[in-house]
């Protein structure tokens, strides 16, 4: 577990208990150690300050972050119920207008790409979750895989905030995945995995490109809405299909969608296995080692057939 994960869990615990002041104390204590995630820390601080009734301070935190180069999609802020009290502040709407202007003009200089693991190992390309910190999900994915894998984790060029990469455009996600795979592993099969929204995109892309992707690992895939379920089903291409392994929490609201998708894939003839973890909601879950071993066996078999 990373420092960021520990702080996030502690914040969530205080937030769930309604103790917003205790959550702010956590940020005050841990903030200096999370300088690489300063935009996320500023967002959390603004939400907690608003919950504590400190509206002017919350707006000031967002303004200072904006002046330092950060931005958040106004739509994201409008949907954040924690920030509802900020609408009474006269400086909030002008700040959102400035953020929207920056959002429309903003282009990433470069997106991140983590490459690690064992050179020459089984290729694994992982997709981070929606609006997740790229480095944090990269650490989670690589930590779960263990030995034997050569890992690549691209950061999406799509953004909902300056530090909020998303995979909202499925076709653009697919193009980026195949481009990275071609640059690192030309003509080699690879396992495609992902968390949350990244897990849903991994399912879609794998089901359409089974000739290149012999196995897919989706961790807590976001399949909450009927439109998200339909997205996956609509991307089912022609055989060969990949082995599909899905790991989700029994208490995850999206698990009903996971079961619907799995049932449909199995009826189509796709080899699909689902592992449900007790007492777990929608969060990152470490895949069981036997699931990873099965994926490795499948990719090794596909590689042998192509030789």
Mean pLDDT, to the nearest integer, of 197-207? 98
Topology (CATH) of 3-105: 1.25.40
Asked if the model's pLDDT at residue 263 lies above 80, the reply is: yes
Instruction: Please give the C-alpha separations between residue 142 and each of 6, 94, 101, 193, 222, in angstroms, as whole numbers.
Output: 18, 42, 36, 11, 20
> ∠ at Cα 16 (15, 17), nearest 5°?
90
Q: How confident is the model at residue 299 (pLDDT cuts 50, 70, 90)?
A: confident
Report whether 179 contacts 156 (CB < 8 A). Answer: no
pLDDT digits (tens, 9 = 90+) for 113-159: 999 999 889 999 999 999 998 888 998 999 899 889 999 999 999 99
Angle formed by the axes of helices 55-67 and 92-105, to 10°? 30
Question: What pTM was estimated for this model as a whole?
Answer: 0.90
pLDDT, position 260: 97
Mean pLDDT, to the nearest integer, of 271-291? 92
Instruction: Please give the C-alpha separations between residue 66 and each of 9, 71, 124, in angstroms, as whole numbers.
Output: 26, 6, 36
Which stretches of 106-208 are DSSP H helices?
134-145, 170-184, 197-208
Q: What DSSP character marks residue 119? A: T
pLDDT digits (tens, 9 = 90+) for 147-194: 899 999 999 999 999 999 999 999 999 999 999 999 999 989 999 999
In the chain, where the domains are located = 3-105, 113-306
Mean pLDDT, to the nearest integer, of 100-105? 93
The rounded radius of gyration (Å) of the Cα atoms in the chain is 20
Asked if the model's pLDDT at residue 108 lies above 90, the reply is: no
Please, what is the average pLDDT of the chain?
A: 93
Whose CA is closest to 221, among 252, 235, 200, 191?
200
Determine whether domain 113-306 maps to CATH 3.40.630.30: no
Q: How confident is the model at residue 95 (pLDDT cuts 50, 70, 90)?
A: very high
pLDDT digits (tens, 9 = 90+) for 240-253: 999 999 999 999 99
Asked if the model's pLDDT at residue 110 lies above 90, the reply is: no
pLDDT, position 300: 79
Asked if the model's pLDDT at residue 227 lies above 80, the reply is: yes
% of the chain residues with pLDDT over 90: 77
Asked if the model's pLDDT at residue 3 lies above 90, the reply is: no
Mean pLDDT, to the nearest integer, of 275-279? 93
pLDDT, position 306: 64
């Amino acid at each position: 577990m990373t420092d960021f994960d520990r702080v996030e869990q502690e914040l969530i615990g205080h937030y769930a208990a309604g103790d917003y002041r205790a959550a702010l104390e956590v940020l005050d204590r841990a903030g200096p150690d999370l300088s690489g995630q300063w935009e996320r820390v500023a967002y959390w601080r603004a939400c907690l300050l608003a919950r504590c009734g400190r509206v002017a301070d919350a707006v000031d935190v967002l303004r200072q972050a904006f002046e330092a180069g950060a931005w958040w999609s106004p739509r994201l802020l409008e949907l954040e119920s924690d920030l509802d009290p900020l609408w009474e502040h006269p400086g909030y709407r002008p700040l959102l207008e400035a953020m929207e202007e920056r959002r429309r003009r903003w282009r990433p200089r470069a997106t991140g790409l983590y490459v690690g693991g064992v050179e020459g190992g089984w290729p694994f390309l992982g997709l981070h979750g929606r609006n997740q910190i790229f480095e944090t999900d990269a650490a989670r994915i690589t930590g779960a895989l263990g030995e034997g894998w050569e890992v690549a984790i691209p950061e999406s060029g799509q953004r909902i905030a300056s530090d909020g990469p998303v995979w909202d455009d499925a076709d653009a996600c697919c193009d980026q995945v195949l481009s990275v795979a071609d640059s690192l592993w030309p003509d080699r099969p690879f396992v495609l995995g992902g968390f949350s929204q990244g897990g849903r995109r991994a399912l879609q892309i794998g089901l359409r490109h089974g000739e290149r992707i012999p196995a897919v690992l989706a961790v807590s895939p976001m399949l909450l809405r009927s439109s998200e379920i339909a997205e996956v089903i609509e991307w089912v291409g022609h055989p060969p299909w990949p082995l599909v392994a899905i790991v989700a929490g029994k208490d995850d609201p999206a698990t009903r969608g996971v079961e619907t998708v799995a049932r449909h894939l199995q009826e189509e003839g796709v080899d699909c296995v689902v592992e449900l973890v007790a007492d777990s909601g929608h969060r990152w879950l470490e895949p069981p080692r036997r699931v990873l071993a099965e994926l490795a066996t499948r990719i090794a078999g596909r590689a042998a057939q192509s030789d």
